C-alpha cells in the first residue's frame, strides 16, 4: 500500500449517498460529503448514480481505492444492453409479501428453505421481488438478462457500466440476502433465480461474479482500485471491527441486531437471517420493524422534542410506575406478528407523562433484547449504534435491560467506513483487512433489571393471539 494513500467508502442507503475519504493506514476520516436520494420504495438507479457523483465530487478523484456499501436486497433488473428494465424495487417495498409463501413452498417448506438459502425470505428479499415481477410484469421479467443488487450496480457503474466491458460483481455478504444464494455452500443457486422469473432452470438470468473478500474487482477510469463492496449491515460490521462475543444493536427506523460467527445459520422459524459477512465469516441478523419510531411516536403524543422526551424518561423510576408498553406499532417481524399493534398495560388515572416516556424507552430496549436472545448467543458486551443510540435515556437504561455493559461508539458513518476499510484491504493485497484503531466509545453500566424483561415478556405472551 502506498504510504499516505487515501481510500473512499460509499454508503448508498435508502435516503442518501454518503462518501468518506479515509487514510488507508489508520482509518482517519479526511473528508466526507453526502447527497439525497428521492423518496419512495421504487427508484430509478440512475438517481443513485447522480447522487454518488454529487457526493463524490472532489473526493473520489483523490482515492486510490473505492468500496461501496449498499442497502441490501434491492432488485435491479437489466436487459441485454445493460439498461435498467424497471425502477429498482427497494428492501422496504412490500408488494411482494404474497410471494413469500410461494417461495417457501417451492423450496420445500420452512426447514428445507432455511437449509437451502440460510433464511426464510421476507418481502425485502430479492427472490420475492423477482417472483412478483414474473407474476405481475411478465414482459419486464422476460426482458431481464441480469439481476444486480444496489451495491453491485454502483460498483459496475464506477468501473464503466454498460458497454465498457466491465463485469457485474458482488460479494458473499450482499449475495446472502437475495434468496438465491447458499451461504453454507458459498455459491449462487441460479435455478432458484430462474424459477422466480418464471423460467426453466437452464434459463437463469446472469448473476454477478462473487468476488473473494478483499479482492480487486476492477478500476475506475482514473485508475482507482475497486473493492467488491458489500451490503450495508456487513459494511457496518466491518466498520465497527465487530469481534466474536460482541453483538451490534443498530437502532434506526427499524432495529437490527447482528454478530459475527464462524458457522452458517439456518433458522426455520424465520427470526434469524442467515447472512454471510464481508470477511469470509457469517453474520446472523435479527430485525425488528419498530425501533426509533417508538420514541418518535411517543414524543409526538406527549408534545415534546427529543431532548425533553429523554429528560422525561429519566425523571421516572425504573418500571415506569407499573406501565408496560408492547411497541408493535406497525406490526412486527421479531416476533412474527405482521398484523399486531401497540399495547399499553397498567395505564391509570395517576399515570404521568414521565412514566409514559420511560415505558416507551423500556419497551424499545426490551424488544431489542428479545432480538439479541433470538440470535441464541451469549454476548460479552453490546455495541449500540444508530440515531436512537445517541438518546441519553436509551444509553442509560440499556445496560439494565440487556443485562450487561453497553458500549456506544462515537457517532460515525460506519457503513461508509466499512466500505473504506474494504477498499484499503483490496489496495493492500493482504490476506486480512487492515487493523484500524477502535473508534472512541463510551461504556454504560447499570444493575441488571430482569423483572422488567419478565413483565414485558408476560405482556408479549398474553397478546400473542391478538
CATH of the domain at 16: 3.30.420.40
What pLDDT does 306 receive?
A: 95
What pLDDT does 338 receive?
A: 85
What percent of the chain has pLDDT above 90? 95
Question: Is the model's pLDDT at 118 over the cut of 90?
Answer: yes
pLDDT tens sequence across 1-39: 566 899 999 999 999 999 999 999 999 999 999 999 999
Closest residue by Cα to residue 416 from 75, 98, 154:
154
What pLDDT does 1 receive?
A: 57
Task: Round to whole Å and give the CA distance between 79 and 215.
Answer: 27
pLDDT tens sequence across 393-443: 999 999 999 999 999 999 999 999 999 999 999 999 999 999 999 989 999
Full residue range of the structural domain in which residue 214 is found: 6-233
Dihedral angle sign, alpha carbons of residues 268, 269, 275, 280: negative
pLDDT tens sequence across 345-360: 999 999 999 999 999 9
Dihedral angle sign, alpha carbons of residues 115, 118, 123, 125: negative
Task: Round to whole Å and give the CA distance between 178 and 155.
Answer: 18
Task: State pTM to two decimals.
Answer: 0.94
Helix, strand or coil, per DSSP, at residue 406? strand
In 45-146, alpha helices (H)? 45-56, 99-106, 110-117, 126-136, 138-143
Q: Quick check: is 263 in a domain?
A: no
Question: Is the model's pLDDT at 336 over the cut of 90?
Answer: no
Quickly state the pLDDT bin for 387 (edges 50, 70, 90): very high
232 is catalytic: yes
Task: Round to whole Å and give the CA distance between 287 and 157.
Answer: 30
What pLDDT does 137 receive?
A: 98
Helix, strand or coil, per DSSP, at residue 223? coil
Number of domains in the chain: 1
What pLDDT does 2 receive?
A: 64
What pLDDT does 284 receive?
A: 98
Task: Round to whole Å and give the CA distance between 299 and 356.
Answer: 9
Q: Quick check: is 397 in a domain?
A: no
Quickly state the pLDDT bin for 267 (edges 50, 70, 90): very high
pLDDT tens sequence across 268-307: 999 999 999 999 999 999 999 999 999 999 999 999 999 9
pLDDT tens sequence across 237-255: 999 999 999 999 999 988 9
Helix, strand or coil, per DSSP, at residue 332? strand
Average pLDDT over residues 184-207: 97
Q: Bigger pLDDT: 378 or 197? A: 197
Q: Quick check: is 294 in a domain?
A: no
Task: Round to whole Å and give the CA distance between 36 and 9.
Answer: 17
Average pLDDT, the chain: 96
Q: Quick check: is 377 in a domain?
A: no
Q: Judging by DSSP bridges, how do beta strands 230-231 and 65-70 pair with one another?
A: parallel
From 152, 232, 267, 370, the catalytic residue: 232
Q: Quick check: is 429 in a domain?
A: no
Cβ–Cβ < 8 Å for 228, 418: no
Amino acid at each position: 500500500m502506498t504510504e499516505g494513500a487515501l481510500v473512499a467508502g460509499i454508503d448508498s442507503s435508502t435516503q442518501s449517498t454518503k462518501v468518506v475519504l479515509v487514510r488507508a493506514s489508520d482509518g482517519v476520516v479526511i473528508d466526507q460529503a453526502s447527497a439525497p436520494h428521492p423518496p419512495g420504495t421504487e427508484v430509478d438507479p440512475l438517481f443513485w448514480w447522480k447522487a454518488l457523483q454529487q457526493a463524490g465530487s472532489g473526493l473520489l478523484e483523490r482515492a486510490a481505492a473505492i468500496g461501496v456499501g449498499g442497502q441490501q436486497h434491492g432488485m435491479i433488473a437489466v436487459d441485454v444492453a445493460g439498461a435498467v428494465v424497471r425502477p429498482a424495487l427497494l428492501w422496504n417495498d412490500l408488494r411482494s409479501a404474497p410471494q413469500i409463501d410461494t417461495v417457501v413452498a417451492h423450496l420445500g417448506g420452512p426447514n428445507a428453505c432455511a437449509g437451502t438459502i440460510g433464511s426464510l425470505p421476507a418481502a425485502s428479499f430479492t427472490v420475492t421481488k423477482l417472483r412478483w415481477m414474473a407474476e405481475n410484469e411478465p414482459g419486464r421479467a422476460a426482458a431481464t438478462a441480469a439481476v444486480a443488487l444496489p451495491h453491485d450496480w454502483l460498483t459496475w457503474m464506477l468501473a464503466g457500466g454498460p458497454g465498457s466491458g466491465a463485469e457485474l460483481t458482488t460479494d458473499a455478504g450482499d449475495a446472502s440476502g437475495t434468496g438465491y444464494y447458499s451461504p453454507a455452500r458459498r455459491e449462487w443457486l441460479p435455478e432458484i433465480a430462474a424459477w422466480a422469473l418464471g423460467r426453466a432452470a437452464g434459463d437463469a438470468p446472469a448473476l454477478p461474479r462473487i468476488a473473494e473478500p478483499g479482492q480487486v474487482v476492477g478500476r475506475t477510469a482514473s485508475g482507482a482500485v475497486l473493492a467488491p463492496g458489500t451490503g450495508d449491515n456487513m459494511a457496518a460490521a466491518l466498520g465497527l471491527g465487530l469481534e466474536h462475543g460482541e453483538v451490534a444493536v443498530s437502532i434506526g427506523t427499524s432495529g437490527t441486531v447482528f454478530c459475527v460467527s464462524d458457522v452458517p445459520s439456518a433458522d426455520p422459524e424465520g427470526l434469524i437471517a442467515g447472512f454471510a459477512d464481508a470477511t469470509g465469516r457469517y453474520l446472523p441478523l435479527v430485525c425488528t420493524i419498530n425501533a426509533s419510531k417508538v420514541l418518535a411516536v411517543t414524543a409526538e403524543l406527549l408534545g415534546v422534542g427529543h431532548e425533553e422526551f429523554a429528560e422525561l424518561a429519566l425523571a421516572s423510576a425504573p418500571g415506569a410506575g407499573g406501565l408496560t408498553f408492547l411497541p408493535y406499532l406497525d406490526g412486527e417481524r421479531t416476533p412474527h406478528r405482521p398484523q399486531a399493534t401497540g399495547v399499553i398495560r397498567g395505564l391509570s388515572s395517576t399515570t404521568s407523562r414521565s412514566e409514559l416516556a420511560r415505558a416507551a424507552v423500556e419497551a424499545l430496549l426490551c424488544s431489542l433484547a428479545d432480538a439479541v436472545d433470538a440470535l441464541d448467543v451469549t454476548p460479552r458486551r453490546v455495541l449500540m449504534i444508530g440515531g436512537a443510540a445517541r438518546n441519553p435515556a436509551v444509553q442509560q437504561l440499556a445496560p439494565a435491560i440487556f443485562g450487561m455493559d453497553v458500549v456506544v461508539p462515537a457517532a460515525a458513518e460506519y457503513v461508509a467506513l466499512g466500505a473504506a476499510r474494504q477498499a484499503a484491504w483490496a489496495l493492500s493485497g493482504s490476506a486480512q483487512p487492515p487493523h484500524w484503531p477502535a473508534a472512541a466509545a463510551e461504556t454504560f453500566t447499570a444493575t441488571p433489571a430482569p423483572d422488567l424483561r419478565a413483565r414485558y415478556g408476560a405482556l408479549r405472551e398474553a397478546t400473542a393471539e391478538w
